[in-house]
Amino acid sequence: MNFLEERIVKDGVVKAGNILKVDSFLNHQMDVRLFRQMGEEFKRRFADKSINKILTIEASGIGIAIEKGFQPGGAKIHEMGYPLESLAIVESMDDATGTVVFRPQP
């Protein structure tokens, strides 16, 4: 995933204790296009495997789950009985711009 390595070099910040912060594009501010690239790379690398779960070590995995919900595989995830939910319910997403509009909370 050279594109991810390049993005980390470009926008990652190394803090004291060699802590790498990538929250400007992976956590607090999610780059939807980057998630889409990562999803396509996962799909390519694991095309011959029977993958039914993706686990993350942090809540930032919600970005990947939201993106997956917009891909054709999202319907299959729902059909298999796995919930794909968030308190931040996506109302719409513009694939061209990566703009996500969240449904207002009641």
Query: For the segment 83-104, what is each residue's pLDDT rounded down to a tens digit?
Result: 655 555 667 777 677 677 777 6
Q: Which of 44-48, 65-69, 85-89 has the highest mean pLDDT?
A: 44-48
pTM over 0.75: no
User: Residue 90: beta bridge partners?
Assistant: 102
Structural domains counted in the chain:
1
Show the domain range for 77: 2-102
Helix axes 32-45, 61-70, angle to 10 degrees: 80
**Residue (of 90, 91, 98, 94) closest to 33 by Cα position:** 98
pLDDT at 75 over 80: no
Q: Give the closest residue to 22 by CA, choosing from 36, 37, 10.
A: 10
pLDDT digits (tens, 9 = 90+) for 7-44: 889 988 888 877 788 878 876 777 888 888 888 888 88
Q: What is the pLDDT of residue 79?
A: 79
Report residue 68's pLDDT band, with 50, 70 and 90 as the boundaries: low
C-alpha to C-alpha distance for 68 and 84, rounded to whole angstroms:
9
Candidates 72, 73, 99, 74; CA nearest to 86 is 74
How far apart are the C-alpha atoms of 49 and 52, rounded to whole Å?
9
